[in-house]
Structure 1
Amino acid sequence: MTHRMQALASEIVRLQAELDQEIERRRKVLGWTLKERIVEFEHGVAIEHRRLRTGIVSFLARSSLATILTAPVIYSLILPFLVIDAWVSLYQAVCFRAYGIPRVRRSDYIAFDRQHLRYLNWIEAANCLYCGYVNGLIAYIREIASRTEQYWCPIKHALRITDPHRRYHEFLEYGDADGYRARLQEFRRRLQAEPEARADHPQPGGGA
């Protein structure tokens, strides 16, 4: 990685910290705090949330026919996602242990907390559970895949990649044959030295 790339990476880290501080200030404005993965709302805020909840009948009446008819198609995807979840978890349990790669902890990526929001009816809460699981699962799988790529092929592509994973920017440049032969084991050792669980962005859980 060049000095310029290192400087840009450091700037990204600085901006992420600044963003986290701004998010924390926004939490206080919205009247909630996070303590040991448990969300707590101020009493008045929780009452207002319950007042804003839409009843099931009204919710369905406002939904388009297309939304109602496509809902079973959307939810049918839960079956392949469950299979992928189990298969990828088995993969890292077997292969990561064999390679000495720290395993990815699912709870760092999959969070179930939105159903506790009082302004959601049970259909909206179910939708949030589904979306939280699927998007969290994709992030979980992506982290497993990125560790696999760092172990076996830490090389950038010649073509531009949209939204690459967080490890990609440190990979070797495309065409750097000497670097690949000289540094592949370094990438593997660095990966193996990572902690078992990542908690850079702990996810909340609990009730209002």
Structure 2
Amino acid sequence: MSNALEQLAKRTRELEKALETELAEKRKALRYRLERKRVVFEADVAARHRAARISLTRFLARTRLSIVLTAPVIYALIVPLVLLDICVVIYQAICFPVYRIAKVPRQDFIVIDRQQLVYLNGLQKLNCVYCGYANGMIGWVREIASVSEAYWCPIKHARHVSEPHLRYHGFADFGDESVLEKQLEDQRSKLENTPSE
């Protein structure tokens, strides 16, 4: 990776850390803390949340019919999502040990905690569980795919890639055959028996 790209990657990591610091400050302002993955709000905030909950009946009454009618289409995606999840678990269990790559932990990506918000009704909580699973699982699959791409074909594309994964900028430039073998060695040595970045 060129020095300029290394500097940009370093700056990106610094910005991510700054974002985490800001989120921690926001937690303080919203007056909650995490205890063993459980969210605990201060008592007066929890009472305010309970008072703000909209009943399921009222929630459904103000929901457009077209939204209600499309809900089965949205929830039907759970079938391919779970199948993809199972296939990727099997892929990672079989292939990553052979490649000597550390497995990408699911719990780092699939975060399901919004159902702990007492100002949400049961249907809103179910929707949040579904979205947390679906988006987290897709992020987890993307990370596993990025590790696989780094291992097998660390070459940038000729065309622009919208929102490439974090490893992408360290790949060999498209059309630069002189660095491919070294790039493969470098990427594989970075991945061998190390946790995902």
Please give the TM-score of this superposition, normalised by the length of structure 2.
0.96
Q: Deviations over 1:92-149 (max 9, x none)?
A: 1001111111111111111121111000000000000000000000001001100100
The equivalent of 1:22 in structure 2 is 22
The equivalent of 2:42 in structure 1 is 42
1:65 aligns with 2:65: yes
> In 2, distance between residues paired with 1:69 and 1:125?
19
Asked if the contact 2:156/2:173 (under 8 Å) is kept, the reply is yes
Shift of 1:164: 0.4
Q: Which runs of 5+ in 1 are unaligned?
A: 201-208
Matched residues, number: 197
- Secondary structure (helix, strand or coil) at the match of 1:39 reads strand
- Secondary structure (helix, strand or coil) at the match of 2:194 reads coil
Which deviates further from its counterpart, 138-147 or 103-112?
103-112
1:153 aligns with 2:156: no
- Secondary structure (helix, strand or coil) at the match of 1:146 reads helix
Q: Deviations over 1:50-98 (max 9, x none)?
A: 0000001100100000011111111011011111100111011001111
Which deviates further from its counterpart, 175-184 or 50-59?
175-184
Q: Which runs of 5+ in 2 are unaligned?
A: none
> In 2, distance between residues paired with 1:62 and 1:183?
56
Matched residues, percent identical? 45
Q: Deviations over 1:153-178 (max 9, x none)?
A: 00111111000011111111111211
Task: Flag the structure with more relative contact order, 1 or 2, with Cα contacts below 8 A and sequence separation at least 6.
Answer: 1
> In 2, distance between residues paired with 1:5 and 1:164?
14
Asked if the contact 2:171/2:183 (under 8 Å) is kept, the reply is no
Q: Which amino acid aligns with 2:53?
A: R
The equivalent of 1:11 in structure 2 is 11
Q: Deviations over 1:9-41 (max 9, x none)?
A: 111112111111111111111111123422211
> In 2, distance between residues paired with 1:148 and 1:106?
16
The equivalent of 1:111 in structure 2 is 111
Which deviates further from its counterpart, 174-183 or 100-109?
174-183
> In 2, distance between residues paired with 1:46 and 1:40?
9
The equivalent of 2:33 in structure 1 is 33
> In 1, distance between residues paired with 2:53 and 2:149?
45
Q: Which amino acid aligns with 1:181?
A: E
> In 1, distance between residues paired with 2:119 and 2:70?
24
The equivalent of 1:91 in structure 2 is 91
* Runs of 4+ off more than 6 Å: none
Asked if the contact 2:53/2:118 (under 8 Å) is kept, the reply is yes
Q: Which amino acid aligns with 2:35?
A: K
> In 2, distance between residues paired with 1:182 and 1:119?
54
Q: Which amino acid aligns with 1:50?
A: R
Q: Which amino acid aligns with 2:2?
A: T
The equivalent of 2:77 in structure 1 is 77
- Secondary structure (helix, strand or coil) at the match of 1:164 reads coil
Which deviates further from its counterpart, 131-140 or 180-189?
180-189
> In 2, distance between residues paired with 1:63 and 1:11?
43
Q: What is the CA RMSD across the aligned residues, in angstroms?
A: 1.2
